[in-house]
Structure 1
């Protein structure tokens, strides 16, 4: 396997939470219902960072839908990306077969790192 793309994103948790408070409908546009079930602002900020990092790892092509890159948690507690629609199509076109996602939050920031491989 070879690395196809790398993406990283950092989100200021309080700033992100303030934006969601000012514009509640934004959460519906950015996150699936399963992702919105995560109530802690730092965890939601980390999921947003993951979506941004995913886009960067794909080269940030236009037209991708936020809902087409969903952050889910596997039974062991590890975060994973579940792709569909526009994001899955871009990934398939790039020959991506494997995704690695790491999330963290501390000190008022949330960070996501994504690596894709073929």
Structure 2
């Protein structure tokens, strides 16, 4: 197997907070329909305590959710060498999870065409968040 591309992105979670407190327009722009539905479900989970006994508000949960997907999508388009634009939109990338919790990418539209043109046969996604940051790495392979 040959590596086609590697992409990494990091997002400062707090930078999304002020935007999400005002409206969900950023979330609607970045998330596809399925992801946005999951994002909205998080507003029903406010008041849960975190590991350090801090109240985890719905906005905080939504910020983490959005930051991780933003980072994953940016990492994916960096790995393919295109970026958002040039026929590729945020909605053409979905971050989904296997039953085990492992994340994976679903791609559609022009991005799927780019994957096919470059012979991508596998996409590996790793996402993590800790305190102030969310980070994602995508490795694309062929063969």
TM bracket, shorter-chain basis: over 0.9
Q: Which residue of 2 aligns with 1:69?
A: 93
- Structure 2: runs of 5 or more not aligned: 43-60
Q: TM-score when scaled to structure 1?
A: 0.92
Q: Which residue of 2 aligns with 1:51?
A: 73
* Moved >6 Å (runs of 4+): none
Among 86, 90, 97, the alignment partner of 2:114 is: 90
- Structure 1: runs of 5 or more not aligned: none
Measured on the aligned residues, the alpha-carbon RMSD in Å equals: 1.3
Aligned residue-pair number: 118
Q: Alignment partner of 2:120: what SS?
A: coil
Q: TM-score when scaled to structure 2?
A: 0.77
Q: Alignment partner of 1:102: what SS?
A: strand
Return the alpha-carbon distance in structure 2 between the equivalents of residues 4 and 31 of structure 1.
25
**Higher-Rg member (1/2):** 2
